[in-house]
Amino acid sequence: MNALSAWCAALLDPRRTIPASLVTWNGSDPVQRFAVYRNNVTVSLMQALADTFPVTLAVVGDLRFRDLARAFVRTQPPRSPVLAGYGRGFAAFVADQEAAARWPCLPDLARLELVSMSVGDCRFVGALQTGATLGAATVIAADPGDGTDAGFDLTRCLAVLLREQVVTGITIATRT
């Protein structure tokens, strides 16, 4: 393992020792300073996950979510400096965690949160669940009735619902 790989591995795993070549500019204890840095990185990444998965956090609670997020951060660190896409593997990770077994819907919930469902998307799904036609659900989703933009895009919404296998069937009404 090269020096950079060792440094990165130690950054996310508190069981590892800090790289031997690490020194501080002022002669202070590098072990203590590295521990603070390690903690800041981990907490920041956990907060990025909390920001991305607020409903998942609300369902499982802060303590359990922090445990899941910490484990995820340590096993799946970001691969990009842009954190906007961080957490793509969180739903699959959660599905394999014993701590989340109490909530079998949790992986699906995390998947849906990751695909930026808008208020309009939620209204669309809700209308379909109550038996509205595709056309009626589209009208309901696009116009929240209060003059605000619901952020609804039928093509994007259907693509997400199909990709995530939320749509389980289609009923074609026949006219009599």
pLDDT of residue 1: 67
pLDDT higher for 133 or 165? 133
Question: pLDDT above 70 covers what percent of the chain?
Answer: 95
Question: pLDDT above 90 covers what percent of the chain?
Answer: 28
Question: Mind listing the pLDDT tens digit for each residue in 91-140?
Answer: 999 999 987 788 888 898 898 887 777 778 888 888 888 989 999 999 98
pLDDT of residue 147: 67
Q: Where are the domains of the chain?
A: 3-105, 119-163
- 48/41 Cα distance (integer angstroms): 11
Question: Mind listing the pLDDT tens digit for each residue in 74-105?
Answer: 999 998 888 877 899 999 999 999 877 888 88
